[in-house]
């Protein structure tokens, strides 16, 4: 694996790490963390594989819409987390469809990157395996770090994470 692909994998996984910090403030067991991390890793494989295969044609038609969709999902997740600060309800961890939407949202940057790599003729298997493994590992690291931090930071940490997700999502939508 070339160093360029590894560095790109780390860069693409940074959003997943940041988002996992925010989501990890909710009580999640090890199995839930493994499932969420795996979902993000799998999306970081599937989306760039699709986009590398489809190439520039797909990006010209749908790229901006799909990238914006990831931003909308992250912004809504962040807004929900901020609003939950004002509610007295028990914190819910992402499950089922919520887990898939989270994974999709943080993986959209890998989709657009895959388009570029597809045009350049980059080796698909090396790239997507690196993207997926790195994203899964950094998502798990974010979840573990934030769950340890949550006892000290409490609800304020979740609000800060929600604001971070909201900002990242809005950046994706408007930039």
In a 10 Å sphere around its CB, with 0-12 CB exposed, 13-18 middle and 19+ buried, how is residue 65 labelled? exposed
**Per-residue model confidence as pLDDT tens digits over 116-153:** 666 566 678 888 999 999 999 999 998 888 877 754 45
Q: How far apart are CA 142 and CA 130, in angstroms?
A: 18
Q: Residue 90: its pLDDT value, please?
A: 47
- Span 52-71, average pLDDT: 64
**Per-residue model confidence as pLDDT tens digits over 64-113:** 665 566 567 667 766 766 776 676 544 456 667 778 888 887 787 777 67
Q: Which residue would you say has higher pLDDT here, 145 or 60?
A: 145
Is residue 48 predicted with pLDDT exceeding 50?
yes
Q: Residue 108: its pLDDT value, please?
A: 75
Exposure string of 1-18, with b = 16+ CB inside 10 Å and e = fewer, is eeeebeebbbebbebbbb
């Amino acid at each position: 694996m070339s160093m360029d692909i590894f560095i790109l994998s780390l860069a693409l996984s940074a959003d997943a790490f940041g988002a996992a910090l925010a989501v990890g403030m909710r009580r999640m067991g090890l199995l839930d963390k493994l499932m969420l991390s795996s979902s993000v890793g799998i999306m970081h494989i599937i989306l760039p594989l699709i986009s590398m295969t489809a190439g520039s044609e797909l990006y010209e038609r749908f790229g901006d819409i799909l990238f914006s969709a990831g931003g909308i999902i992250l912004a809504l997740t962040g807004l929900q987390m901020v609003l939950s600060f004002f509610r007295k309800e028990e914190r819910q961890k992402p499950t089922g469809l919520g887990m898939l939407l989270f994974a999709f949202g943080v993986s959209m940057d890998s989709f657009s990157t895959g388009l570029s790599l597809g045009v350049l003729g980059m080796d698909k298997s090396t790239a997507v395996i690196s993207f997926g493994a790195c994203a899964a590992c950094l998502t798990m690291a974010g979840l573990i770090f934030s769950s340890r931090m949550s006892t000290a930071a409490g609800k304020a940490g979740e609000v800060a994470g929600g604001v971070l997700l909201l900002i990242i999502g809005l950046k994706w939508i408007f930039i």
